[in-house]
Amino acid sequence: MGNWKFLLQKKGDGFWRKLKTQSVEIEEGKYRLLGQSNYSHSPVEICLNYQVNPSDRALSYSLKHYRKTNERGLIEISPFFYFHPGIWELSCRGDVFSEMLGESWQENLQLKVLKVREPELFKTAKQIDLFSPRQAKIKERQSIALVGQILPPKICNYNRTVIEIKLPSL
């Protein structure tokens, strides 16, 4: 099945990203995945394998289902779905009848899903200077904002006392 393309869309984005290689790195999150081919109304077998840890095959999950391309050659491989960190391997291939007719084909895609990066607490020297010397006393409110970060309510003291925050040494 020539000219097969995979299209990926992150939830909240208004555009589709064409995947040009067979191995792509993305951050974890909710995505949907489409396939596009030159053939309309063709049956496709879709296999999706997930490995939590690439070195441990015991922690893997797989799913297989069958779909058909529409009149434009598009097929929904996965609706919006949360892709957790790990290796996701996808294969799309013709059904048994296409193999019997000698028209077998298979397209593969590997998604390396990376853990979402945590935002850094300090990004510039100006922000660090706000907290000289290495401790800061901040009057408590319902939640405390510290250089754009919200501290969890667990460490907030609601008795209107002063909270001392020790910053890591640089």
Q: Does this model's pTM top 0.75? A: no
Three-state SS sequence of the chain:
CCCCEEEEEECCCCCCEEECCCEEEEECEEEEEEEECCCCCCEEEEEEEEECCCCCCCCEEEEEEEEECCCCCEEEEEEEEEECCEEEEEEEEECHHHHHCCCCCEEEEEEEEECCCCCCCCCCHHHHHCCCCCEEEEECCCCCEECCEECCHHHCCCCCCEEEEECCCC
pLDDT of 136 reads 43
**pLDDT of res. 162:** 53
What is the reported pLDDT for 138?
43
On the question of pLDDT at 155 being above 70, the answer is no
Model confidence pLDDT, tens digit, residues 52-63: 876 766 677 888
| Res. 95 pLDDT band, cuts 50 70 90 | confident
Sorted by where each starts, the structural domains of the chain and their CATH numbers stand as: 5-114 (2.60.40), 125-166 (no CATH)
pLDDT, greater one: 152 or 37: 37
Greatest mean pLDDT among 134-138, 141-145, 161-165 lies in: 161-165
